[in-house]
Amino acid sequence: MHRLTGPAVLSGVDMYSEEDTQMHAMGALGIAENGDMYRYTRIISSGTDLVAGKLYVSLSREGNHQNIALSAAASVGDTSVEPTVGATAVDANEYDEGWLIFNDVSPEGEFYKVVSHDTSTGGSEAITVNLERGLKTAATTSSEVELVRNPWNNPAISQLVAERPAGVAVQDWDVSVANYGWLKTRGMASVLVDDSGITVGLKATISNQANGAVGLYSDVDVEFEVGQMMATGTSTEYNSIYLTID
């Protein structure tokens, strides 16, 4: 059962080590003795190795996995529902520790943590999504839901300002050896700066120029602040930043 708890204190944990078995919930917040913050992250072994100093973000949303109707009604207390996804495959573990959101028709507004789900090779079919807790309100075949990934479940190297930042890799990480480890989200770090560079003291956001880089924060309506530059960022180089993702 998903319950409130305190963050992990990393005095007994090496945030520079990776693991081949999961030791914490994805997205678990870890705090070092100096207040720096990290998030526990899963990277699948078929993905690209993580690179120190590059920014990682949640995978983009699948349009065919949003605003989709249930294929069968579900009763109060049921711990699984069966949405019919559109014509996009559902990969193994894609939505583990993510969320199922009810968009429209009762129980609209409710959301549930996903434990596991079926896979789908081509989409356009009903899948079973297993929930951490039972439904509080009954759902019908008119109820619409969306599937939301956990940002720390296999994040991608950043390239779009619209995605949720997952954190900065603190060292190179060979995902063929280990799948779990920590990304830094608050405190001093080194990060790649995009082609334009950023003046010391100015805010940084996800770059829309270079993958894995930060750029100048300039549009409050569309950009997410990831930190403040601690030195004038030289374009295409790694520079000091105080991260404020968390």
For the cut 60, the answer to whether the pLDDT of residue 53 exceeds it is yes
The more confidently predicted of residues 149 and 159 is 149
Cα–Cα distances in angstroms (integers) from residue 8 to residues 32, 35, 96, 166, in the given order: 9, 12, 21, 17
* pLDDT bucket at 151, cuts 50 / 70 / 90: very high
Query: Given this model, what pLDDT does residue 235 score?
Result: 87
- Segment 136-144 mean pLDDT: 98
Query: Given this model, what pLDDT does residue 3 score?
Result: 59
For the cut 90, the answer to whether the pLDDT of residue 47 exceeds it is no
Domains of the chain with bracketed CATH: 21-58+154-244 (no CATH), 63-148 (2.40.30)
Mean pLDDT of the chain: 92
* pLDDT bucket at 104, cuts 50 / 70 / 90: very high
Query: Given this model, what pLDDT does residue 6 score?
Result: 60
pLDDT tens digit string along 184-233? Answer: 999 999 999 998 889 999 999 999 999 999 999 999 888 999 999 999 97
Query: Given this model, what pLDDT does residue 163 score?
Result: 92
Cis check: omega of the bond before 155, within 30 degrees of 0: no
For the cut 70, the answer to whether the pLDDT of residue 4 exceeds it is no
Cα–Cα distances in angstroms (integers) from residue 78 to residues 69, 90, 91, 132, 139, in the given order: 17, 22, 24, 10, 10
The more confidently predicted of residues 15 and 103 is 103
Query: Given this model, what pLDDT does residue 160 score?
Result: 84
The DSSP line for 29-97 is EEE-TTS-EEEEEE--TTSPPB-TT-EEEPPPP-GGGSSEEBSS-B-TT-SEE-BEE-SS-B-TTTTTT
Q: What is this structure's pTM?
A: 0.91
Query: Given this model, what pLDDT does residue 157 score?
Result: 93
Query: Given this model, what pLDDT does residue 9 score?
Result: 56
Query: Given this model, what pLDDT does residue 215 score?
Result: 95
